[in-house]
Amino acid sequence: MSAPADHVLITRFNLPSRGAESRIRAKDGWLQTRLGLFESYCLPSVRRQSNQNFHWIIYFDPQSPSWLRERIAELNQNAVFTPIFRAEVSSAELLQDLRAVTGARHNELLTTNLDNDDGLASDFVERLQEGGYGGTRTAIYLVNGLIRCGSGLYLRTDRANAFCSVREDWAGARTCWSDWHNLLGRSMSVNEMAGDPAWLQVVHDSNVSNRIRGRRVSPDPYRDAFGGLLDGVSDLSALEELRDLAVGRPHRFVKEAGRSLLKKIALNVLGKEGLDQLKSGWALRLVHRR
């Protein structure tokens, strides 16, 4: 059992930002769509956590429309999360908010990134907090998860996924937002935790990054952990499983390998800002197509 830490989930809801997501965010209906996903997946999954010993900060744009503010207040009547309205969040401001919300009661800080359109298995927090800590700043990944696309469900292993956490001492803390989720290992130790699927990504039209990856599976083995998040997911017949094994999965693997190689080359050549600009171009193309 690990020593106790101040644990905070951190979510950007519509925090103003540069890059691909900001272009999609400008499209009419983006907020309504994201709010629907938040209510269907993210919020209920946090409420179902077997271990409730954590805090949750959600950042909102100060220019958020009144209807969104009112709905957020309705959803938060039981104070499940702490809404904070900022135009931007610097590292110093983030640490200030973390201290204000937690009271910094323990020596260690554990921060976890949670996107507003994703969900968690009911034991995500419990497993994460029991993961151990060696006294050195460590990025923690629960590597196995699920991807939902419509009525299809896919089992995925992602060793540097977006549900990243960082455990560290409060002194000199950097948090899970100190770098891209897949680059945290450049500046700290990494702990990859295996086990049952711990998270759920939802593939939908307004998401630039998420894609169908992994192996097609039936939902039944995972319903206890994910509850209503899997409502509407179809069972997988033997024929569908064979078709996915023979055709679907190899096709996805080749496409993903190509994307990963191009992204790695772009990151090495263009750097993080250049890659962000490249993503923004793709985001604009998506907006113009719809």
Q: How far apart are the first and last CA of the chain?
A: 50
Strand bridging mode 119-120 / 199-202: antiparallel
CATH of the domain at 72: 3.90.550
For residue 286, what pLDDT is reported? 47
Count structural domains, the chain: 1
Q: What are 284's two structure tokens?
A: 């604009």
CA distance 208 to 280: 9
Range of the domain at 137: 6-286
For residue 18, what pLDDT is reported? 62
The answer to whether residue 169 is domain-embedded is yes
Strand residue runs (E) in the chain: 6-12, 55-60, 82-85, 108-113, 119-120, 138-142, 144-149, 152-157, 165-169, 189-193, 199-202, 215-216
For residue 265, what pLDDT is reported? 64
CA distance 56 to 70: 19
CA distance 246 to 225: 29
The answer to whether residue 55 is domain-embedded is yes
* Ordered mean pLDDT values, 10 residues apiece, the chain (290 residues): 89 78 64 96 98 98 95 97 96 98 97 98 98 90 96 95 97 96 93 98 70 88 98 85 67 56 58 53 47
> Cβ neighbours of residue 191 under 8 Å, at least 6 residues apart?
131, 132, 138, 139, 140, 141
Match 């899997």 to its residue by tokens.
230
In 3D, which of 116, 145, 151, 111 has the Cα closest to residue 128? 111
The answer to whether residue 99 is domain-embedded is yes
The answer to whether residue 175 is domain-embedded is yes
The answer to whether residue 1 is domain-embedded is no
For residue 287, what pLDDT is reported? 44
pTM above 0.95, yes or no: no
The answer to whether residue 53 is domain-embedded is yes
CA distance 142 to 129: 11
CA distance 191 to 42: 24
The answer to whether residue 173 is domain-embedded is yes
Q: What phi and psi, each to the nearest 5 degrees, are found at residue 192?
A: -100, 115
